[in-house]
């Protein structure tokens, strides 16, 4: 006489039994639980990202090849971009506040493998933490492995110093 055995399997085991790969499983879990699953590309660097409370502080196009956006520096809460040495990653750009109300903005993507770069105030340069590439503020490579410069965007500060436009 055969005994009927009930086996409790986890969702993962069940899905694996259907032949789903690990990445398919991850996609399934993300959809199923409605949790945020981010890729490496979305990963903010230390120093800033486009946090949710800045929605109204940044207007315009922040990603792609036609970057053209304006930051209300009085409303941008994640970082005080009126303070020398602060920086923020906004869309595809890194925006850095220098002394005397000067700003630079460059592509955030390291030209080596696309990791998001960060600003180093003490060295006054830009560094990629992934493999250690360093860039000058004019975008040029200071140290590899990156071989190509970062794209520099045009920055324009309003007369009252409260609004910064970044344009490709």
Q: Which residues bind ligand FES (CB under 6 A)?
A: 110, 112-113, 115, 128, 130-133, 145-146
CB of residue 138 to ligand FES, shortest distance in Å:
18
CB of residue 56 to ligand FES, shortest distance in Å:
32
CB 96 within 8 A of CB 87: yes
Quick one: 71 or 150, whose CB is closer to ligand FES?
150
Quick one: 139 or 145, whose CB is closer to ligand FES?
145
Quick one: 106 or 128, whose CB is closer to ligand FES?
128
Neighbours of 94 (CB within 10 A): 26
CB of residue 31 to ligand FES, shortest distance in Å:
30
Q: Rounded distance, CA 101 to CA 50, Å?
A: 21
Q: Where are the alpha helices (DSSP H) in the chain?
A: 11-17, 22-33
Residue with tokens 């069940």: 14
């Amino acid at each position: 006489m055969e005994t009927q055995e009930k086996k409790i399997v986890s969702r993962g085991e069940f899905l694996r039994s259907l032949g789903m790969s690990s990445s398919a499983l991850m996609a399934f879990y993300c959809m199923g639980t409605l949790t945020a699953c981010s890729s490496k590309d979305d990963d903010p660097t230390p120093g800033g990202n486009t946090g949710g409370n800045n929605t109204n502080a940044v207007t315009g196009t922040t990603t792609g090849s036609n970057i053209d956006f304006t930051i209300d520096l009085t409303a941008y809460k994640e970082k005080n971009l009126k303070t020398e040495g602060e920086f923020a990653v906004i869309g595809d750009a890194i925006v850095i506040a220098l002394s005397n109300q000067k700003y630079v903005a460059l592509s955030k993507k390291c030209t080596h493998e696309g990791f998001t770069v960060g600003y180093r105030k003490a060295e006054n340069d830009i560094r990629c933490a992934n493999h250690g590439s360093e860039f000058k503020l004019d975008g040029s490579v200071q140290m590899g492995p990156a071989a190509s410069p970062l794209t520099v965007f045009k920055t324009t500060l309003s007369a009252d110093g409260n609004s910064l436009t970044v344009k490709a």
